[in-house]
Chains A and B, each alone.
Chain A
């Protein structure tokens, strides 16, 4: 039985096409993936992300525990700030990629992938058992308590203060939601209930994510819709979420990331803080950073008109007798009008500008390795 978010009936009433995703029954599109994608790039889109997991870590030992368990440096986070981070195993493989928010000095909120909540929880429990100061902090799986929405796009800043009025009561001090800077988080009172709002997202556009008690997330959705509709806000599904993140070169767990792939191989070394001291996977990750990796995640763009590349398509290089790699994400870019994707290749082929070929249904189509993001917003 698939899980359903608090917004499930709303999606049905909006005529959404529903698909299985990470054990959840989720809207893949309401009208059209391209129309929803374009709305987010030009105006605004509203996503149900209630399927994502929430894990709360609090107590005086929480920061030390997380700094030993995650790759990024939690000490860089002041109260009211968030950062992207990775949860790795001892082999440096990625158990999950996540966002960690410091809600209070000793309280952290982890937003994790829906499909990985159980794996994360199990892995974290093992780390708790090994933690030297296990009485100094507490972990709670709050996934069922919370729902969440993401509101993304260039016009969001023009209406979000009307949807969630007033100043913050916790986290970053802000007189209104738009007072938050990128990666900042704060607690606001929405219709009498505290909700967490962060200026983060997964689309490459300006925008916010709102984490609210599950029973309140419908009211948050409605308020955002009322405030934003006339400015072009429309519901957007997982289809657009995927094309938007692919254009940005953002990883999706299960595609770019898995337990046998490290953040260094994935091109996420920026989120691995080697100077913070010991953490799980450090030794292998450091060796990879210094001595190199055997595979590397690259972004690519098709150079001619072709069918869209898809996950699993072989990547070819010159006269090599066998494929040199494999596509892990691929689609038609609604913004660029060409096929785009990401894949793993040996590092000698990872340089932007390298000519490669993607085998799509038995035929090789020319492509070129490009820098991330694949799509750049016109400035």
Chain B
């Protein structure tokens, strides 16, 4: 059963966003990590990179496959999670906590309205 915290916003491509002020933390959902299983490698965008909502800017690899991670929001990447690069299994064990990917300083906070709330994401991934 997927864990879908109520206080986050979600992209259809299975990233989550936690907004604090003008900063947005991005990671991948519990559903996504469960589908991937056994994450063995994470590649994050460079700090300072300007990303646009929908840009492929990180990669997550399991034993079998590589998947792109898309930024759900636009802005400057101001921080990346070195811990998840060093220990990619954090994506599996703590997708909403220690397994976060990067932080973006929002350039267009209006984009957040286009993301899914928890009930809508729950409906998307088909869990009761």
Question: Which A residues fall within an 8 A CB radius of B?
Answer: 28-29, 32-35, 239, 243, 305-308, 310, 331-332, 334, 361
Contact = CB atoms under 8 A, between A and B. Distances in A.
A308 B60 CA distance: 11
6 contacts: A33-B62, A306-B41, A307-B66, A310-B66, A332-B41, A361-B59
A242 to B, nearest CB: 8
Nearest to B40: A332
B90 to A, nearest CB: 14
Contact of B38 (A33, A305, A307): A33
A296 to B, nearest CB: 27
Given A32-B37, A306-B41, A334-B63, 16 more contacts: A28-B64, A32-B38, A33-B37, A33-B38, A33-B62, A33-B64, A34-B37, A35-B38, A239-B64, A305-B41, A307-B61, A308-B61, A332-B40, A332-B61, A332-B63, A361-B59
A332 B41 CA distance: 9
Contacts of B59: 307, 361
A139 B40 CA distance: 46
Given A33-B63, A334-B63, A308 B40 contact: yes
Closest 9 CB pairs of A and B: A332-B40, A34-B38, A33-B63, A307-B41, A32-B37, A32-B38, A307-B61, A332-B63, A33-B38
A306 B40 CA distance: 10
Contacts of B38: 32-35, 334
Interface in B59-94: 59, 61-64, 66
A30 B70 CA distance: 28
B98 interface: no
Residue in A33, A243, A306 with the greatest tally of chain B CB atoms within 10 Å: A33
B7 to A, nearest CB: 28
Most buried by A among B37, B38, B66: B38
Contacts of B37: 29, 32-34
Most buried by A among B61, B64, B66: B64
Interface string B33-56: 000011011010000000000000
A276 to B, nearest CB: 40
A331 B63 contact: yes
Contacts of A307: 41, 43, 59, 61, 66
B66 A361 contact: yes
Contacts of B63: 33-34, 239, 243, 308, 331-332, 334
Contacts of A331: 63-64
A307 B38 CA distance: 13
B93 to A, nearest CB: 12
B19 to A, nearest CB: 30
A34 B64 CA distance: 10
Contacts of A239: 63-64
A15 B41 CA distance: 26
A310 B59 CA distance: 15
Contacts of B40: 308, 332
Nearest to A338: B40
Interface string B1-43: 0000000000000000000000000000000000001101101
A35 B62 CA distance: 13
Contacts of B66: 307-308, 310, 361
A361 B40 CA distance: 16
A188 B41 CA distance: 46
B75 to A, nearest CB: 25
Nearest to A17: B37
Which of A32, A305, A332 has the most chain B CB atoms inside 10 A of its CB?
A332
A327 to B, nearest CB: 14
Contacts of A361: 59, 66
B101 to A, nearest CB: 15
Contacts of A308: 40-41, 61, 63, 66
Contacts of A305: 41
B115 to A, nearest CB: 27
A332 B62 CA distance: 8
Nearest to A238: B64
Nearest to A239: B64
A361 B62 CA distance: 15
A334 B37 CA distance: 13
Contacts of A334: 38, 63
